């Protein structure tokens, strides 16, 4: 009986303490709900996002982060080359260079053609080809004939490209802020001032965009300046060689034909005089000479 009486006060004391704790907890929770409702909402949103991402969502999130993690800076290089090639047929070599460039996905730029004092043709053409096809096209062009000169340059402009891209983003954000201020402006003076500021920032943005486009064009397309010159005609014929039988026969025939030509010219020049002389001789033989023969015997008889 004494044990039961000792247990009842303990249970009563425990219940009293539990009621007091619940009352204090209710007050503190009410204060927290009224003072930090936004934090609780943020925590709930974060927990919901975490629950939505786990376990399959966690894999997708990790995969997306894995794909964005290796955000390494890509190298931007401007490649230029100059070739001087001697070919037998300049127009044919130029057509082949155009075909090679177009097949590689490039295009033909400026072109200049001229002839020297000896009549040999020279052509200078600028070719733009994708960077990934640069080495292939360059090897094909220099193999079109005899390579006389070659220069190749590579300029790394990665820092410049990154800087221009960053400035473009900043300038776009600046233009957007000025436009927001214009939308909120109520005074005419403020609107006029903001319009001037907006025009200035837009001009700066256009200049940056032009610089960005120029860098993109020069880094994505390599520039090859090709100079084609015609080889001297019959360069080997200039060397002295011993004449053969056919050479002697050809030379003799040419001399014979030349002699006949000169004889024909001389005969043509003498022919009129020969014709007149023949007429005179014929007239003398037919008319004058018979009379001379007839008169001479008669005179001799008269003297006798």
Q: Rounded distance, CA 52 to CA 36, Å?
A: 24
d(CA 238, CA 233): 10
State residue 268's pLDDT score: 84
What pLDDT is attached to residue 200?
92
- The confidence score (pLDDT) of residue 30 equals 42
User: Is the bond leading into 248 cis (omega within 30 degrees of zero)?
Assistant: no
pLDDT of residue 281: 82
pLDDT tens digits along 5-56: 444 444 444 444 444 544 444 444 444 444 443 333 343 333 433 333 344 4
Task: Read off the pLDDT of residues 213-253 as tens digits, 9 standing for 90 and up.
Answer: 999 999 999 999 999 998 876 544 444 556 677 777 788 88
- CA dist list (Å): 254 to 64, 130, 238, 247, 294: 90, 60, 21, 11, 57
pLDDT for the residue 241: 59
Whether residue 122 contacts residue 227, with contact meaning beta carbons closer than 8 Å, is answered with yes
User: Taking the complete model, does pTM exceed 0.75, yes or no?
Assistant: no
Cβ–Cβ < 8 Å for 225, 124: yes
Convert the chain into a string of H (helix), E (strand) and C (coil): CHHHHHHHHHHHHHHHHHHHHHHHHHHHHHHHHHHCHHHHHHHHHHHHHHHHHCCHHHHHHHHHHHHHCCCCCCCCEEEEEEEEEEECCHHHHHHHHHHHHHHCCCEEEEEEEEECCCCCEEEEEEEEEEHHHHHHHHHHHHCCCEEEEEEEEEEECHHHHHHHHHHHHHHHHHHHHHHHHHHHCCCHHHHHHHHHHHHHHHHHHHHHHHHHHHHHHHHHEEEEEEEEEECCCCHHHHCCCCCCHHHHHHHHHHHHHHHHHHHHHHHHHHHHHHHHHHHHHHHHHHHHHHHHHHHHHHHHHHHC
Candidates 3.40.50.2300, 3.30.70.260, 3.20.20.450, 1.10.8.100; correct CATH number of 77-156?
3.30.70.260
Tell me the mean pLDDT in the region 87-105: 91
Q: For the purposes of burial, counting CB atoms within 10 Å of the CB of 53, is it exposed (0-12), middle (13-18) or buried (19 or more)?
A: middle
Q: What is the pLDDT of residues 265-286, one digit of tens each?
A: 888 888 888 888 888 888 877 7
Domain boundaries, the chain: 77-156, 159-218
């Amino acid at each position: 009986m004494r044990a039961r009486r000792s247990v009842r006060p303990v249970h009563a004391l425990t219940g009293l303490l539990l009621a007091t704790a619940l009352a204090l907890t209710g007050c503190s929770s009410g204060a927290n709900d009224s003072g930090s409702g936004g934090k609780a909402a943020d925590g709930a949103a974060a927990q919901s996002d975490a629950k939505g991402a786990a376990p399959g969502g966690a894999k997708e999130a990790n995969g997306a982060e894995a794909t964005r993690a290796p955000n390494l800076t890509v190298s931007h290089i401007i490649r230029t080359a100059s070739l001087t090639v001697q070919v037998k047929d300049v127009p044919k070599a130029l057509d082949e260079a155009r075909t090679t460039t177009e097949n590689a996905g490039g295009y033909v730029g400026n072109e200049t053609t001229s002839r020297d004092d000896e009549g040999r043709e020279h052509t200078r053409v600028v070719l733009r080809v994708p960077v990934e096809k640069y080495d292939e096209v360059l090897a094909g062009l220099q193999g079109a004939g005899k390579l006389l000169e070659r220069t190749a340059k590579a300029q790394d402009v990665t820092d410049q490209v990154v800087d221009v891209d960053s400035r473009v983003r900043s300038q776009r954000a600046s233009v957007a802020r000025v436009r927001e201020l214009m939308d909120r402006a109520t005074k005419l003076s403020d609107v006029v001032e903001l319009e001037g500021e907006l025009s200035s920032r837009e001009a700066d943005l256009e200049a940056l965009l032009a610089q960005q486009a120029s860098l993109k064009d020069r880094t994505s397309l390599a520039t090859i300046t090709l100079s084609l010159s015609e080889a001297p005609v019959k360069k080997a014929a200039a060397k002295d060689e011993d004449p053969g039988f056919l050479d002697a026969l050809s030379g003799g025939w040419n001399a014979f034909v030349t002699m006949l030509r000169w004889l024909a010219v001389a005969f043509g020049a003498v022919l009129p005089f020969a014709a007149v002389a023949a007429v005179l001789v014929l007239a003398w033989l037919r008319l004058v000479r018979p009379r001379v023969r007839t008169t001479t015997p008669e005179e001799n008889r008269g003297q006798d």
